[in-house]
Amino acid sequence: MKERERIVVSGLVVLMLVTWLGFVFHQSPRFAGSFWGGVLAVSGSVLMLIPLAYMIVKRVPRLKSLVTSRVRMKTLLTWHIYAGVVGPILVLLHTGHKFESPLGIALTGMTLIVVVSGFIGRYLMTFFSREIREKLSLLTDLQAQYEEMKRGLESGCELQSLGTFSLLRARLVSRLSEEPRPGLSRLLDLARLAESIADVEYAIATHEHFKSAFKAWLKIHIVLSLVLYALLGLHVWAAIHFGLRWFS
């Protein structure tokens, strides 16, 4: 997620939370059934279906190939992110802060959970991916410096002892303090550089571990989203059945 996009989406998420907390100060029991309440409900529901469409397109190869021939997946992901936040905001405004029915409360709660969890997960996934790329670049530079420094050392230096860097460092510090000799300082720098390489490699492995763990988060997020759509379907059916029966 780009910096500008993250700022905008963060603001929308905060607006959604503020909109939900508005029930403390304002309640309009009749607004949800009014004309503008209905417009907000339909608009929000349609926008909330865009993430579902993205999820289907992403996982159906033929459909993905057909859609991406016209629209890039990156563009679809952007639509998914914005629609997944703006839609719930409109739906929350539609409620008029009237949270009385168990279905409405469950739908509102699940909406907040899905949006917030999706935002946090997306932000952390982007963070770990960026950190891994930066550290891989740093690791490449350090390895190049290490090889260059290693080649520059005289062949008679104690390079055979580089297998255990911590032991080598202690030995070199001791020798430098007692009887400094040419080349030992560079050998110590080489040991420090090797330790830096090991630290970066460990950081990369740790970030890769967290990134792999988010695959489980993605599955949970998909399950929660499906539950949300099931509740949304029930809510739409209830609204039509109990509120629009006069059409028949």
Residue 167's pLDDT is: 44
Radius of gyration of the chain (CA): 29
Handedness of CA 33, 35, 36, 41 (dihedral sign): positive
Residue 88's pLDDT is: 92
Mean pLDDT of the chain: 78
Please tell me the distance from the alpha carbon of residue 92 to that of residue 25, in angstroms, as a whole number: 14
Q: What is the pLDDT of residues 217-237, one digit of tens each?
A: 888 888 999 999 999 998 888
**What is the number of other CB atoms lying within 10 angstroms of the CB of residue 236?**
13
Whole-model pTM: value is: 0.67
User: Shortest CA distance to 191 belongs to which of 182, 181, 183?
Assistant: 183
Q: What is the pLDDT of residues 70-98, one digit of tens each?
A: 888 888 888 998 999 999 999 888 888 77
Q: Locate 191 and state its tokens.
A: 């040991």
Please tell me the distance from the alpha carbon of residue 150 to that of residue 238, in angstroms, as a whole number: 74
Q: Which residues contact 51 (CB under 8 A, 6 or more apart)?
A: 80, 83, 84, 225
Residue 213's pLDDT is: 76
- CA triplet 34, 40, 45: central angle to 5 degrees? 125
Look-up: residue for tokens 């009887």? 179
Share of the chain above pLDDT 90, in %: 12
Compute the average pLDDT of residues 123-140.
Answer: 83
